[in-house]
Structure 1
């Protein structure tokens, strides 16, 4: 890969500072095993830097083609897949979800009780497709651990990558559970994007993974992105670690025994893909280019523009609407579009960037953002759970913008 920091308007010396910071603050101190940082600007790759180890136990270094678990960085891909169906006129953003999932027509909103004795009331309005895209659906995640509803999710293992569970099973389970709130009245990080994956399959008439491959992954040349890692690529999969209470890390998912080495029965559009930094860069370039890359059009520029506006009701930011304890973004001054967090006000985020830049991350500390005003893409790949352990995403934003040698404006 041709790397040209000066053509990207970046300072080579300041990029060295970025690498030294990650190496000294996180890798040398044993907080993370390794990382790969990619910065592209003005159509040029200005930085592509693998550091540390992909697998501590076998001393395998992070390489340019290391395969990482994306977890929730799967969500933007699923959201794009759904929007290709919107562009084809096969579904509309204001369609009720029960048009495709009839058993959800009478979903109630939680008012009391426990699993099997839930008391509910009717929602103020039906759940719409856009509620799934922007996490205002009333669904939740079991790991939120705040309500009796998410306790039921945990008991039923809703949306988890178990051996024999499927998307159909997940949708049937959800039909028996109440919503946390009336759709459109709050924001809650949830299995909404997994439901989108289910809908992509039902609306397109193709299995979700096949549609994703044929309409996005294959056209973009994302050849290393899939719901599992085949035997021919097993040596490139890194291990995943979890943070320990004393600031170290413990092996969570051994690359040699990983569940990602087998095709899952549940194709999680919310968190199931594995990929490389190079593949994800191609996806981000398509978004930054207005839906087209190397002559292949995935979406129209107007659709990308629509997806990256703040769609939270009333134009509010996340603190005004959020019910979640956990998210892949800091809240203040940040809204939410269709699959992405959107920066609304840098005086509230207290971070460099641009109004309208959009981002998301994954549970194992992966992260990306796209800043159209600066023609910038940044991708950070690491494998440490949970992503909230360290403030590395905030630090990365400061370090990347500090490496600008000249402004786009």
Structure 2
């Protein structure tokens, strides 16, 4: 059973008051200790962690180094390669277009991408809908989730984190040339579906994906540093990979082992400086921790100024039914992120209905709407800082919930 947050006092633990409480020294001490321990144990190089409760930021801290070799300290305005945190922004942009009647959840993808027609293994046609893309039930996959000689590798599909010298259109052409892994809607597999969704956002909006994100999200929320281009290279955190006795600085490109027997994730930190790199909706964005928190808080509070509350609730509803979300016991999947179904099965103190996801460069975030709580924890260390990748996100979660 979930424990109440220890920075709540009196009857606030059971009846949420409109007025947010002051930060608790115990809360700050617990989170400080969790970050410091991960740095001291040389599991991460640096981190920015933010906690908002009921609209008030009750914890904010930058610790460690943004660039170890240059001895640059981590700062609250440090920029990060967002990797799969990009999926949150692109998914919300798509929902904004849905709210405007320019996209439809259950319409076929071919309405906006007429040439994107991957078939089933037997060559028969399949219908992929926008909802299938949001929920990773489209029958697509990732190159790092297949063997080195898998079909995505054979045709040169990019996972969106390398520095492939191809366009988004060409990457989707290659992706569509490979048979689907299953009939859409019948299974769940983490995939390039948000890259496809990003192309649909671009088509429905009538401009490039970066321009669409700027108009649909960044300007309404005042996000000055979130996008597909590094606004200030001096503030971009260096990228590190798990290693012993300490994380190693990533090569350009680098190969990060993910699952035994499957291909490595190919990550090229230099992609962030390449204006010609195609805009990967699933992994290609740059941003700050506090701007990601601003988006999460807008959603948690009901969606303004982006979305009506009904669509936010639809995003946070488990869309996958009894279909297993592989590698995430106790979790289902909504429209753009995982949704907690069973806290005991997941081994967490988060409330049922909590939203959570992260990014391979070392990030995690979650929103516990029942407790009016939003959390962003960005590190510069892959995969230790990633939700599902290392201990750090779970340690931050335990520190917040007090156990």
TM-score tier, shorter chain, comes to 0.7 to 0.9
Q: Which runs of 5+ in 2 are unaligned?
A: 1-6, 9-19, 253-268
In 1, Cα distance between equivalents of 2:159 and 2:177: 14
TM-score, normalised to structure 1, is 0.85
Name 2:379's counterpart in structure 1: 382
In 2, Cα distance between equivalents of 1:104 and 1:259: 26
Counterpart mapping for 1:321-400 below 5 A: 322=326, 331-386=328-383, 387=386, 388-400=388-400
Name 2:101's counterpart in structure 1: 89
In 2, Cα distance between equivalents of 1:242 and 1:147: 20
Q: Does 1:13 align with 2:11?
A: no
Tell me if structure 2 keeps the 8 A contact 1:317–1:336: no
Name 2:260's counterpart in structure 1: none
Name 1:279's counterpart in structure 2: 291
Q: How many aligned positions are there? A: 366
Name 1:249's counterpart in structure 2: 247
In 2, Cα distance between equivalents of 1:259 and 1:121: 35
Tell me if structure 2 keeps the 8 A contact 1:27–1:33: yes
Name 2:314's counterpart in structure 1: 306
RMSD value, Cα: 2.0
In 2, Cα distance between equivalents of 1:261 and 1:240: 13
Q: Deviations over 1:163-202 (max 9, x none)?
A: 5311111121122111111111110111100111101111
* SS of equivalent to 1:203: helix
Per the TM alignment, residue 88 of structure 1 is displaced from its structure 2 partner at its CA by: 1.6
Per the TM alignment, residue 129 of structure 1 is displaced from its structure 2 partner at its CA by: 1.0
TM-score, normalised to structure 2, is 0.86
Cα separation, partners in 2 of 1:38 and 1:132, compared to 1, 3 Å: same
Counterpart among 314, 324, 333 of residue 318 in structure 1: 324
Per the TM alignment, residue 159 of structure 1 is displaced from its structure 2 partner at its CA by: 4.0
Counterpart among 256, 259, 266 of residue 278 in structure 2: 266
Q: Does 1:132 align with 2:145?
A: no
Tell me if structure 2 keeps the 8 A contact 1:9–1:41: no
Name 1:192's counterpart in structure 2: 193
Per the TM alignment, residue 153 of structure 1 is displaced from its structure 2 partner at its CA by: 3.7
Q: Deviations over 1:251-300 (max 9, x none)?
A: 1168xx833123243101101111111111111111111111xxxx2111
Tell me if structure 1 keeps the 8 A contact 2:123–2:179: no
Name 1:141's counterpart in structure 2: 142
Counterpart mapping for 1:112-131 below 5 A: 120-122=122-124, 125-131=126-132
Tell me if structure 1 keeps the 8 A contact 2:157–2:174: no
* SS of equivalent to 2:49: strand
Tell me if structure 1 keeps the 8 A contact 2:187–2:324: no
Q: Does 1:109 align with 2:120?
A: yes
Cα separation, partners in 2 of 1:95 and 1:389, compared to 1, 3 Å: closer
Tell me if structure 1 keeps the 8 A contact 2:338–2:357: yes
Name 2:213's counterpart in structure 1: 212
Per the TM alignment, residue 365 of structure 1 is displaced from its structure 2 partner at its CA by: 1.8
* SS of equivalent to 1:283: helix
Name 1:168's counterpart in structure 2: 169
Tell me if structure 2 keeps the 8 A contact 1:82–1:196: yes
Cα separation, partners in 2 of 1:372 and 1:389, compared to 1, 3 Å: closer
In 2, Cα distance between equivalents of 1:9 and 1:344: 30
- Deviating 4+ runs (over 6 angstroms): none
Counterpart among 41, 44, 58 of residue 29 in structure 1: 41
In 2, Cα distance between equivalents of 1:159 and 1:33: 25
Q: Does 1:235 align with 2:234?
A: yes
Tell me if structure 2 keeps the 8 A contact 1:159–1:167: no
* SS of equivalent to 1:223: coil
Tell me if structure 2 keeps the 8 A contact 1:8–1:43: no
Q: Does 1:288 align with 2:300?
A: yes
Per the TM alignment, residue 208 of structure 1 is displaced from its structure 2 partner at its CA by: 1.0
Tell me if structure 2 keeps the 8 A contact 1:311–1:335: yes
* SS of equivalent to 1:104: coil
In 2, Cα distance between equivalents of 1:67 and 1:376: 23
* SS of equivalent to 1:258: helix
Tell me if structure 1 keeps the 8 A contact 2:155–2:174: no
* SS of equivalent to 1:102: coil
* SS of equivalent to 2:250: strand
In 1, Cα distance between equivalents of 2:135 and 2:22: 34
Name 1:156's counterpart in structure 2: 156
In 2, Cα distance between equivalents of 1:368 and 1:154: 34
